[in-house]
Structures are given as C-alpha cells and as structure tokens.
Amino acid sequence: MGRAQKKLSDLNATQIHVTKKLIETRNLLLSTPQDSPPTREISRQLAILNKQAGDLVSEVFAAELALEAAKKVVVDRLVAAKKSKESSKSTAADTNATANTETNAPNSSVSGPDVPALPGVRPEPINP
C-alpha cells in the first residue's frame, strides 16, 4: 500500500508541475504575435505538454484505483485475521466449557433433581 501511495503522490506532483508549465506556455503563445518566429516552437511545446497532461490524467486515475485496491486488500486481511482470532478464542472457550461440564457433572441428565422444571411442565416424580 505504501508504494501505491508514493506513486500516486509522485504522479499528482508531476501533474501539478505539467499543468503549470502548460498554462505558462499557453499564455506565452497567446501573448506572442501569430506571425513571429518563436510561435511555431511555442506551439510545439504546447502540444507536447497537452499530450503529457492527458497521459498523466490516465496514470493518476490508474494509480488511484491501485491504491483503493491495495487498501481493500489490507482491510480484508485485517478482517480475516480478526475473524480467525475470534474463531480460535471461541473454539478454545468451547473446548474449556465442554471439559468443565464433563468433569463437573459426569452423570448429569436433562431431568434430574438439580434441573428445575420448565414453567407449565410438571416435574417427573423421582423414584430412588
């Protein structure tokens, strides 16, 4: 994820720089008379900068998508790790509870003197 952030940051800085140069070149072209000798060179520079700016827009968009994908992978891994941790805790707790139940009440039954009757149900008579 760090590389994706760095790449996006670099592309944004490059895009800002190219945009500034593009604006300066366009302003220079507009301030130069059409029939002056440097007009052709300025027009060529402007065309190159326009191409670079267009390419950078695509690269920035791709870098933003890559960063979002990297963030999603990190979040998915964290969620999976958390679920795995909770699952292992739950399994350990279930194992401990089962072990405690087996050691504390080896002959326990559902209906016995220690189990209260459900409301509305008559308890079974105990015959010793």
| Model pLDDT for residues 61-113, shown as the tens digit of each residue | 999 999 999 999 999 999 998 888 888 777 666 665 565 555 555 554 455 55
Question: Does residue 16 lie in a domain region?
Answer: yes
Exposure string for 43-53, b = 16+ CB within 10 A, e = fewer: eebbeebeebe
**Paired tokens of 14:** 């490059």
Question: By the 8 A CB rule, do 85 and 51 touch?
Answer: no
Is 106 a member of any domain? no
Q: How confident is the model at residue 122 (pLDDT cuts 50, 70, 90)?
A: low
Give the count of domains, the chain. Answer: 1
Does a structural domain hold residue 123?
A: no
Domain assignment of residue 85, yes or no: yes
Which residue bears the tokens 């009440």? 105
The verdict on residue 53 lying in a domain is: yes
